[in-house]
Amino acid sequence: MTITVKIGEAKTHLSELLVKVEAGEQVVIARGAEPIAKLTRIAKDNDVNAVIEEIRAARARAKPVTTEEILAWRHEGHRY
């Protein structure tokens, strides 16, 4: 989940925002309506939750796949 806050709010509530970042949320800091920075958790090499969240984010950005595409991939390279 992404939270957007203005600079003044970020300065006032930095500790609370960092707790949210540690929990896996992203915080975007904006000047007015213009986003200027993003706070994200630094993933540890053995942080399974961070890896799962990265995979979920990548899947959310991907376009939907049709049944026809899946069947085409399954039979790719086969000779009929």
Give the gyration radius of the chain's Cα atoms: 19
Domain ranges of the chain: 2-74
Alpha carbon distance 65, 70 (integer Å): 7
Which of 36, 37, 31, 35 minimizes the C-alpha distance to 7?
Answer: 31
Q: How many CA atoms lie within 13 A of 64 on its CB side?
A: 3
Identify the pLDDT of residue 50.
77
Q: pTM of the full predicted structure?
A: 0.55
Amino acid at 41: R
Q: pLDDT digit string (tens) for 27-76?
A: 999 999 999 999 998 877 777 877 888 888 888 888 889 999 999 888 88
The answer to whether 37 touches 29, Cβ cutoff 8 Å, is yes
Let me know the angle formed at the C-alpha of 59 by 17 and 73, rounded to the nearest 5 degrees.
170
Which CATH number is correct for 2-74, 1.10.287.3510, 3.30.420.10, 3.40.1620.10, 3.30.565.10?
Answer: 3.40.1620.10
